[in-house]
Amino acid sequence: MGLYAQAVLETQVGKIAVFNNEEALTGIDLFADSIRYRIKNANDLTEQLVSQLSAYFAENLLDFDVPIFLQGTSFQQTVWQALCDIPAGECWTYGQLAKELGTSPRAIGGACRRNPIPIVVPCHRIVAASGIGGYSGQWQEGKKVDIKAWLLQHEQNQIDDQS
């Protein structure tokens, strides 16, 4: 058996699964290596998503231009929108974003952890005041944090190459 996705890509950080409907990107699983996804209901938007994600990993794209649908609380929606406003190559701390939104760093971390569309909604651009912080519920070290570090370095490399 297996779960269904619209596409699965091989990337430098491992397999990632893409989920979308006809109108919008609805999810990305960055940790799809251990899951056997079956491809089902791919469509024109799937092709666009795969193309843009492939370009991102090939160092040819920093900003995504795809419709997204984020399902979450109003607070999570606010945080996720704020994440989309952080330019590639910049990092904000949990505290900076918390101050901007009038909340706590821990609440920001919780919203980041529940981000259903990593990379496109760049929660990896939020770091701790001292160090990289966590990623997807893992704190400071491990495979998930290694992916965060890779994404940050990858984006910086693209910016440096454009200079």
Q: Look up residue 68 and give its DSSP letter.
A: B
Of the residues 84, 91, 112, 123, only one is catalytic, namely: 123
Q: How far apart are CA 68 and CA 120, in angstroms?
A: 9
Strand ranges for 21-156 from DSSP E: 25-29, 37-39, 92-93, 126-127, 134-135, 138-139
Phi-psi region of 161 (alpha: psi -120 to 50; beta: other; left: phi over 0): alpha
84 carries an active-site annotation: no
Question: Mind telling me the catalytic residues?
Answer: 123
